Copies of this chain bind each other. A is one copy, B any other.
């Protein structure tokens, strides 16, 4: 079975998208996820263009990847210089990646208008840049920018630029639909033409301006192309790049070619959502394969059919990409979800038990108010314990006060919190400072409770997410806070919702502490 290599550029081309910018730490975390998913090449950035990318290539060396190769991106040398003197090319080599990918001009119009050099000079520039890189790096890819537009404008010259790269013995020549306007039938025609002239392994890099990026990549793989460039969730400039979350399952399940393992494929949905989280963008429900609605059935006809035979209205089994079938507006499905969740937490619920219905009702009510239990299982477990009467009150918060103060016009605000808690008969009254009101409140709460429950010292806050729920009225809109906490053994998520961010955060903080106390006792 022939192997198709996956080349991810989420960390480079993906960050060209509006609203997307990753910190160096995010890029490192994403690189590890991509490595686990089985991506063969991870393009980390353009070292020449900004300090953030230089830092990435330095840091990624310290962390061990299991199999992925790290690629650095750049361009051919400038005119009127030699590769060894070209700043951009020198920074690429200095970054010491496993692979270097540079782009060059294919479209005669660009050579004249953008580079303002002769067509002949451009060919030399492609050849000697690549030839120099081949001597200084283990693996070199060539991105033929605007290849399809260039070919349509001047096929002979477009092919000449590829031949220049082939002559430099590059490891892969990538045909790019940079402007994303190429149609699937053009891809088919042009690739067959290219294969008459080029024997170097070919890759494909498409954009979604015509909403054809995925189909164009699939068409290319169907024609024997061996490297596919794209991004997780199709992040990228304008309408985005080719979406690897749709291309990977197509390669494995439709084209039946090798790329990642079945086990890795089962993590596809998880990786998609992880990248959305770090980009702080809410996942696209309708997204193919991995979206929340991708296997959601509403039509009555469909629902009854899929319950007997899923293949009647599902093109693949959702489990193979880590997704699942959902039946919409159906109490039945709601109930079975509750039962499944309860089982997860070793709480035995009976589907006939009225408590099950009770929990279902309160969840629907809370979800209408903006609660969300995905990623807040700890709050969900506490909710069930309360409904079942197995919840314990380890402490009671009598009250608190948080003060943010800016004393002078040149001084930045400080935060201080005071808290009064009651445990058993005893009342504890403490104060603490913090970075902002929520952090101060958190510090004061723990300070008060650690006196009674030293185990709380183990608890660390790992993440704190704030979402303003849609249709809100300015700062008065309702706010959802998700908190991720952890100790040596485990991690847990809690949620709070209110029109007051302090209140929402307070709810989530309280659940986090409450959950820890319940679990350390159960052990």
The distance in angstroms between the C-alpha atoms of A50 and B17, with both chains bound, is 43
| Contact, CB under 8 Å: B439 / A315 | no
Q: How large is the interface on A (under 10, 10 to 19, 20 to 34, 35 or more residues)?
A: 35 or more
Q: Is A61 an interface residue (CB 8 A)?
A: no
CB A253 to nearest CB in B, in angstroms, measures: 9
| Contact, CB under 8 Å: B208 / A286 | yes
Picked from B21, B305, B464, B467, the residue with its CB within 8 Å of the CB of A477 is B464
CB A470 to nearest CB in B, in angstroms, measures: 5
Q: A234 — nearest CB in chain B belongs to which residue?
A: B286
**Residue numbers in B under 8 Å from A216 (CB-CB):** 215
Q: Is A261 an interface residue (CB 8 A)?
A: no
Q: A49 — nearest CB in chain B belongs to which residue?
A: B332
Q: List residues of A (45-89) whose CB comes within 8 Å of B's CBs.
A: 49-52
The distance in angstroms between the C-alpha atoms of A181 and B487, with both chains bound, is 39
Given contacts A243-B211, A285-B18, A436-B499, are A468 and B463 in contact (CB under 8 A)? yes
| Contact, CB under 8 Å: B467 / A286 | no
Given contacts A296-B18, A374-B18, are A114 and B305 in contact (CB under 8 A)? yes
**Residue numbers in B under 8 Å from A19 (CB-CB):** 285, 372, 374-375
**Residue numbers in B under 8 Å from A461 (CB-CB):** 473-475
The distance in angstroms between the C-alpha atoms of A298 and B16, with both chains bound, is 6
| Contact, CB under 8 Å: A463 / B467 | no
**Residue numbers in B under 8 Å from A499 (CB-CB):** 435-436
Q: Is A197 an interface residue (CB 8 A)?
A: no
Q: Is A159 an interface residue (CB 8 A)?
A: no
- Chain A 268-307 against B: per-residue CB contact (8 Å), 1 yes, 0 no? 0000000001101010111111011111111110100100
| Contact, CB under 8 Å: B183 / A222 | yes
Among listed A164-172, A393-401, A513-521, interface-contacting one: A393-401
Among listed A123-131, A338-346, A407-415, interface-contacting one: A407-415
| Contact, CB under 8 Å: B25 / A502 | no
- Chain A 437-463 against B: per-residue CB contact (8 Å), 1 yes, 0 no? 111001000000000000000001111
Picked from B315, B400, B407, B465, the residue with its CB within 8 Å of the CB of A179 is B315
**Residue numbers in B under 8 Å from A288 (CB-CB):** 208-211, 239
Q: Is A498 an interface residue (CB 8 A)?
A: yes
**Residue numbers in B under 8 Å from A211 (CB-CB):** 214-215, 243, 246, 288
CB A301 to nearest CB in B, in angstroms, measures: 8
CB A448 to nearest CB in B, in angstroms, measures: 13
**Residue numbers in B under 8 Å from A407 (CB-CB):** 399
The distance in angstroms between the C-alpha atoms of A309 and B115, with both chains bound, is 13
Q: List residues of A (368-413) whose CB comes within 8 Å of B's CBs.
A: 368, 370, 372, 374-375, 396-409, 411-413
- Chain A 464-498 against B: per-residue CB contact (8 Å), 1 yes, 0 no? 11111111111111010001000000000000001
The distance in angstroms between the C-alpha atoms of A400 and B293, with both chains bound, is 45
CB A148 to nearest CB in B, in angstroms, measures: 10
CB A514 to nearest CB in B, in angstroms, measures: 14
| Listed residue (A300, A398, A413) with the most chain B CB atoms within 10 angstroms of its CB | A413
| Contact, CB under 8 Å: A402 / B404 | yes
CB A476 to nearest CB in B, in angstroms, measures: 4
**Residue numbers in B under 8 Å from A17 (CB-CB):** 286, 293, 298
Q: Is A238 an interface residue (CB 8 A)?
A: yes
Q: Is A331 an interface residue (CB 8 A)?
A: yes
The distance in angstroms between the C-alpha atoms of A439 and B254, with both chains bound, is 53
| Contact, CB under 8 Å: A403 / B403 | yes
| Contact, CB under 8 Å: A437 / B293 | no
Q: Is A367 an interface residue (CB 8 A)?
A: yes
| Listed residue (A180, A214, A315) with the most chain B CB atoms within 10 angstroms of its CB | A315
Given contacts A331-B21, A475-B505, are A302 and B439 in contact (CB under 8 A)? no
CB A113 to nearest CB in B, in angstroms, measures: 6
**Residue numbers in B under 8 Å from A316 (CB-CB):** 181
| Contact, CB under 8 Å: B413 / A408 | no
| Contact, CB under 8 Å: A468 / B470 | no
The distance in angstroms between the C-alpha atoms of A297 and B216, with both chains bound, is 23
Q: Is A120 an interface residue (CB 8 A)?
A: no
Give the 5 A-B CB pairs with smallest separation, nearest first: A181-B315, A461-B474, A215-B215, A436-B500, A25-B471
| Chain A contacts to B: CB under 8 angstroms | 15-19, 21-23, 25-26, 29, 49-52, 109-110, 113-114, 178-181, 183-185, 188, 208-212, 214-216, 218-219, 222, 234, 237-240, 243, 246, 250, 254-255, 277-278, 280, 282, 284-289, 291-300, 302, 305, 308-309, 311-316, 328, 330-332, 364, 367-368, 370, 372, 374-375, 396-409, 411-413, 415, 434-439, 442, 460-477, 479, 483, 498-503, 505-506
23 contacts between A and B (CB under 8 A): A18-B298, A21-B330, A23-B470, A25-B470, A51-B368, A113-B305, A113-B312, A184-B218, A209-B294, A210-B246, A211-B214, A237-B296, A237-B297, A237-B299, A238-B297, A239-B287, A399-B408, A401-B404, A413-B502, A415-B502, A435-B475, A460-B474, A466-B467
